[in-house]
Amino acid sequence: MQEMKGKAVIVTGASSGIGRACALKFLEAGCKVAAVARRKELLEALAEGSKDMLPIPADITVPAEVDRVVEETVKAFGGIDVVVNAAGILRSGNIESTSLDDWDEMMALNVRAPFYLIKKAMPYLIERKGNVVNVSSVNGLRAFPGVLAYCVSKAALDHLTRCVALEVASKGVRVNAVNPGVTLTNLHKAGGMDDEAYRAFLERSKTTHPLGRVGTPEEVAELIFFLASPKAGWITGACYSIDGGRGQTCLR
C-alpha cells in the first residue's frame, strides 16, 4: 500500500458497488481519490470526514461533465495517476426486444464514457506513467442470452482496453480490465429486477458459479487495486476474470 500513497485516482461509479469499494480501497492505501457518480448525496456521505476524497457529482455520458471531472481532479490533486472506470448499467433484452433507447443508454455509459474519460485523462497519465483499469464483466468474454446489449457493450470495453493498451504502452501507460461474475451490487436491481427476482437470481447463482457463491465488491476492488499498483507493472492489455469460475461454464 505504501507504493500507492499520494497517487491521484479517479473512480467512476463511486457511489455504490464496485466503484464505492474501489474508492475506499484506494483511500485506505493513502491515495487521493476523485469519487465520481451521479448521486451527490451518496458521494458526499462517502467522502465525509476525509480530506483526501473529492466528491465530484457528474453524468459522465455528457462530454462536458467528463471535461469537468478531469479539470477538477487536476486542480485538486495536481495530476492523475490512475483512472478506474467502474460506472456501468445493465438492461435486459434480446435481439427482438432490445429497444434503441436501451442499446444507446448502455453504449453511452459502458463504452463511450470510458473512452472519453481515458482520452481526456491520457495527457496526465502519460506525464505520470499512470494506468487505467476498466470494470468489464464475464459477459464481455462469454455470450449469455437475454442481455444482448450489455454483453456487446462489455465486449467493446474489453477491446477498447486492449487497443488503448497497445497504443500507449511505449509512453509508459498501462491499461487493463477486470471481468467479474455476479457480484453483490445494485446493478441488477437498478436494471429493473425486483427484490424477489433478485433473491432468486442470487440463489441460482450458487449453481452457475463453480465456486458456489457470488462475489463481493471488495474482492473485485482488491484485484483492481493490484492492477493499478506498481506490483502489476509488467501487465497491460489484460482482461482478468474474477468470476468464481462462471466464465468456464457459461451457465445462465
- Say whether 240 is catalytic: no
How many residues comprise the chain? 252
Assess contact for 222 and 242: CB atoms under 8 A: no
Catalytic residue among 116, 124, 150, 240: 150
Rg (CA), the chain: 17
Assess contact for 241 and 179: CB atoms under 8 A: yes
Count the helices and strands in the chain (H runs, E runs): 10, 7
What is the C-alpha to C-alpha distance for residues 31 and 229, in angstroms, rounded to an integer?
11
Q: Which residues contact 141 (CB under 8 A, 6 or more apart)?
A: 155, 158, 179, 239, 241, 247
Q: Which residues contact 218 (CB under 8 A, 6 or more apart)?
A: 21, 25
Angle made by CA atoms 128, 131, 137, in degrees to the nearest 5: 165
DSSP code of residue 112 = I
Assess contact for 132 and 82: CB atoms under 8 A: yes
Assess contact for 34 and 10: CB atoms under 8 A: yes
Residues belonging to the active site: 150
